[in-house]
A and B are shown apart, each in its own frame.
Chain A
Amino acid sequence: DAKTTQPPSMDCAEGRAANLPCNHSTISGNEYVYWYRQIHSQGPQYIIHGLKNNETNEMASLIITEDRKSSTLILPHATLRDTAVYYCIAEPSNAGGTSYGKLTFGQGTILTVHP
């Protein structure tokens, strides 16, 4: 599995965009980049994923560099409820593209949104 590197913590003002970086310089061609978050005392929550194109959903946007060695999760208008640990995960798949499904969590980034 590709190892991902994230800053241990970040701060963001409420209402501003939160940009969370992730380095995955050893990512292979068939590995997707997934983002999950864990709000205190809850189970992890899926946010978004992508392979090489930028992705957007109702929660966030994912920007993946052209060489796929890094990505940025963007929460466009952070709220206090977005305070959580954010995990960037490179999920492997086999040659046929089928996901193994096993998520490898690192330390993640503690995002604190303040008023």
Chain B
Amino acid sequence: EAGVTQFPSHSVIEKGQTVTLRCDPISGHDNLYWYRRVMGKEIKFLLHFVKESKQDESGMPNNRFLAERTGGTYSTLKVQPAELEDSGVYFCASSRRTTGVGLAGDIRDEQYFGPGTRLTVT
């Protein structure tokens, strides 16, 4: 089974430019997540897709960030315009459906992370 892939692995852009990151989840995984780690900080959640719908986008820092998942397959994260503080590593993760019937019968699937995209804004 192929893992989560991310493209590009590294991107260097100038302040004010636009960058689009891509994530291909594991085939069949309905859940897709974006996280990022900026310099010296902890890994932070950005948003969560269930298929093509945004389930939770509470971690998106501002409206310069736009995430899409058309067709419920791969996802893109666009930063426009990029600022210096956007530099960091952006991780994508995916998991199968999570269902719950109560604590006893809960089914949970772990998140599989991609290798990340290192974004450098100069």
Residue positions of A touching B, CB distance < 8 A: 29-30, 32, 34, 38, 42-46, 49, 51, 91, 93-94, 96-107
Contact = CB atoms under 8 A, between A and B. Distances in A.
B106 to A, nearest CB: 4
B61 interface: no
Nearest to B6: A43
Nearest to A107: B42
Interface residues of B, number: 32
| Shortest Cβ-Cβ A-B pairs, 3 listed | A97-B100, A43-B113, A46-B110
B115 A100 contact: no
A103 B45 contact: yes
Contact of B43 (A32, A42, A44): A44
B21 interface: no
B22 interface: no
Interface stretch (B11-19, B79-87, B90-98): B90-98
